[in-house]
Structure 1
Amino acid sequence: MTHSPSTSNTNAIVINNNSNTSSNTLLANLAATNVSTNVKDSTIAMELTDVNQEDPNTLMIDEGAELPPPLETQSAKTIDTVNTLVNAPPLPTRARILLPSIIIPFSIMGLLIRLGLVSIETFAGQQVFALAWPQFIGCLLMGLFVSTRGWIDGGLVLPSSASKGHWIGAFVYIGLSSGLCGSITTFSSWNLALFNELINTANVSRHPLQNILSALTELVATLALSISGLQLGYHLGEALLQLATNWGLGSRRRSHALSSPITASQPSSILDIAPALTPPSPPVPPNRWTILDIVIVSAAIVLWTGVICAAILVPRESRLSWRHIVLACCFAPAGAILRWYLSRFNSRSKLFPLGTFAANLGGSIILAAIVCLQHTSAAGGKSTLICHVLSGLQDGFCGCLTTISTFALEIKSLPRRASYVYGVVSVVVTQVFMLLIVGSYMWTRNSDDYVMACTS
């Protein structure tokens, strides 16, 4: 009896030791699980980082702006994860020739659409400026193509040739977005119009504050039309995907997985939808040339050569007013292809698309120089052909080198602060160069001398 308390205490100690041992074992298992999870997360992060590394010898299929927008409350790590998930794989070697060949016809088509819309909108008593409709239509189509990108990428061929069709569809998407939409809209002509309203180059009798108000009206109206057109196009794309799903033409999961939405749901985190944004692993692109590749490249060469021959051989006596349009078609592919090549620099900065900024600024500077040449007596007095070439460079090369559709998409996609900085810097820097080039040229001459020498 005297030892029972000791025995009881010993048993209690044993029980406590067993309990402590179980607790320690449980804690050890949890710690091991956490370590394993962290290792897996680190491995996944390393894999994603490796995928996202840019090879300087390869071109990316995406313009850097075409990414879903991060929410304001997201961390930098979350944004990096989503950007990594939606990055496109590097292009095969043959794409260096194939992609520009696809851009050529779409850029000419976009130029003709822009010139046609401007011509239709130019009339006495027009309510809005002529460039309003091209900017709106181009951004609407951009939103449509971005939202239906999965459909374009994978829905162009039969399942038996899905491996090749995926890459042909991706090439066509670049032709539609960079070639067509980028050529319908123009950043340089918009900024030239802003500058003309700001300094009143038309010498309209009005107060200087009214000049500022007129420029702000064109600025705000263009941005509003562009972003609203982008959003409307995205809604139309969603409707088309829904109709295709209802009619059994495609998988809803596939369509939404390969599409890049312009807007994100505010209540949910972007990590919740990140798996849906991850496309299935694409097939390895063929490095050898196919018959379709040869047909596309040959057709592009024939088209561009034919346009150049038409510009040279068109009679001066007949249809003289069409010469500058044909010349613009000659210069349009060069501007669109250069803009697409510059877009590879968008990945250098996550908060400021350097490629689009360089294309828009460079095209605007070239346009400012062309405007000065158009106001010289030598251009209009000695050669009408010079006027047509300058007009073709203005509408074709500068108009297709610069773009509002990608600019609006980038503003919509970037974080709020970065989008404001990018938009303000793009417009302000361009206006400064317009002031230095066109303004200095105009103010060093009498007001009567600053007249358009090229009228055709």
Structure 2
Amino acid sequence: MSNSMLTDTVGLATPLGKEASQTKEYHSIEVHKAPLKNRCCKNVMSYRQKATIAEHLVYFCALSTASYFGVVTRIYLGELSQWNGVPLFHSLYPEIVGTAIMGFVGSHKNLLEDNHKAVYQAIATGLCGSITTFSSWNLEATNVLLQIDIYPIDNVARVIAWLTIILIGFGMPVAALYFGKHLARLSPWNDHKLPPADTNTATKKVEGVVFVIVWLVFTVVGIVVPYVVNRYDLLFSIVLSALGTYIRWQLSPLNKAFEHFRLGTFIVNIFGSWVLAAVAVSIKHLGTNEQDVAHQFLIGLGTGFCGCLTTVSTFAVELTILPLKDTYTYALCSIFLAQVGLIVVTGTYHWVNAS
């Protein structure tokens, strides 16, 4: 980052000048003269290494509980995008809702970051990251391009439809993110009106105990209820969502490894998309018996693990933070590699079985 930019404690790049002077009262801002790559080696995993077992437990419980709500919300929001029972863009509404919440919550860091860090991580990383999914969005685009499980259209129409899903899935979350930020201006606790809060150790301990108890309760509910109603796909989705979210959170410090590229989010989004491609092929190979436990496990693996491992909400935030050239490089690399993996895996299976 050049010396003409400021980086505040929430990681946002702010130009020097009038805007920086107006926000300096409420933000601890410092000029980073040394290149970020010289600082990242000792800072990337510093928090994870210093965190105690109890702190890791609290964060795991907070992230897991939020993931349960996130994946269930995504499943039912996806039903809104059906017309006469035909899915049009299954992940669109989850992306819009998740990134809008992210924009709203991200504008309250002064309130949440210090005193309620676990709450902030639960909402931003757990809930928003689980409502949105990078892998499912890209799989939907691939299915349209390859004409898998959709009504037949000509080659030109399928390319246009593929490009439309890519562009809408790219643009709408960013627009929703800004909508959430604008909505946050109505809040009396947003970062423009509220200075950073002082750390309160007692509050953190109480929240930690609450998160552990809430996690235990909702883990039992999330397992028992789907089992009773014979929805094993939902059961596996809920259980595996916690694993996907926790891995994503553990890899998030890698986002500081490079100044102009968010490596952590890139890794989980690409890896999760490729795993989802393998899951989709496995589901096709098993056939149409949706009551089969293996079939429902694979659905849970794709919806829960892959869906929560990958994220659009964080991806959208990063696109608004990076410099313009790096934004396009990062976005194109992410979408291109995800599409290549999905097309190679799902396309190969589709073409072999169609011949």
TM-score, normalization: structure 2?
A: 0.82
Q: What's the counterpart of residue 122 of structure 2?
A: 175
Q: What's the counterpart of residue 348 of structure 1?
A: 257
* RMSD, aligned α-carbons: 3.5
- 2:186 match: secondary structure: helix
Structure 1 residues 418 and 285: alpha-carbon distance in aligned structure 2, compared to 1, 3 A threshold: farther
Whether contact under 8 Å (2:184, 2:190) holds in the other structure is: no
Whether contact under 8 Å (1:150, 1:254) holds in the other structure is: no
1:207 to 154, 161, 180: 154
Whether contact under 8 Å (1:361, 1:430) holds in the other structure is: yes
Q: What's the counterpart of residue 390 of structure 1?
A: 298
2:63 to 68, 91, 103: 103
In the alignment, is residue 373 of structure 1 matched against residue 317 of structure 2?
Answer: no
Structure 1 residues 172 and 117: alpha-carbon distance in aligned structure 2, compared to 1, 3 A threshold: same
- 1:236 match: secondary structure: helix
Cα deviation for residue 294 of structure 1 reads 3.2
Whether contact under 8 Å (1:70, 1:79) holds in the other structure is: no
Q: What's the counterpart of residue 23 of structure 2?
A: none
State the Cα deviation string for residues 394-426 of structure 1 (Å, max 9, x = none): 111111111100001101110001110000000
Q: What's the counterpart of residue 329 of structure 2?
A: 421
In the alignment, is residue 137 of structure 1 matched against residue 97 of structure 2?
Answer: yes
Q: What's the counterpart of residue 214 of structure 2?
A: 299
Whether contact under 8 Å (2:108, 2:191) holds in the other structure is: no
1:191 to 120, 130, 138: 138
State the Cα deviation string for residues 112-144 of structure 1 (Å, max 9, x = none): 111111123323187952321111010100000
Whether contact under 8 Å (1:92, 1:285) holds in the other structure is: no
1:329 to 228, 233, 238: 238
Whether contact under 8 Å (1:188, 1:402) holds in the other structure is: yes
Which residue identity does 1:224 align to in structure 2? G
1:121 to 81, 84, 87: 81
Whether contact under 8 Å (2:135, 2:273) holds in the other structure is: yes
* More moved, 121-130 vs 381-390: 121-130
1:67 and 1:251 map into 2 onto residues whose CA distance is: 17
Which residue identity does 2:214 align to in structure 1? A
- Larger Rg over CA atoms: 1
State the Cα deviation string for residues 141-199 of structure 1 (Å, max 9, x = none): 0000001221334xxxxxxxxxxxx43x1110011000010011000000101111122
Whether contact under 8 Å (1:182, 1:404) holds in the other structure is: yes
In the alignment, is residue 435 of structure 1 matched against residue 343 of structure 2?
Answer: yes
Which residue identity does 2:235 align to in structure 1? V
What is the aligned length? Answer: 330
Structure 1 residues 121 and 380: alpha-carbon distance in aligned structure 2, compared to 1, 3 A threshold: closer
1:171 and 1:389 map into 2 onto residues whose CA distance is: 30
TM-score, normalization: structure 1?
A: 0.65
Cα deviation for residue 309 of structure 1 reads 4.8
- 1:445 match: secondary structure: helix
Consecutive unaligned residues of structure 1, counting only runs of 5 or more, are 1-44, 53-61, 154-165, 245-249, 259-279, 448-456
- 2:353 match: secondary structure: coil
2:143 and 2:120 map into 1 onto residues whose CA distance is: 35
Q: What's the counterpart of residue 453 of structure 1?
A: none
State the Cα deviation string for residues 200-243 of structure 1 (Å, max 9, x = none): 22464433222111111111112221011000000011221xxx
* More moved, 188-197 vs 143-152: 143-152
Structure 1 residues 233 and 383: alpha-carbon distance in aligned structure 2, compared to 1, 3 A threshold: closer
State the Cα deviation string for residues 335-356 of structure 1 (Å, max 9, x = none): 1111111111111011111110
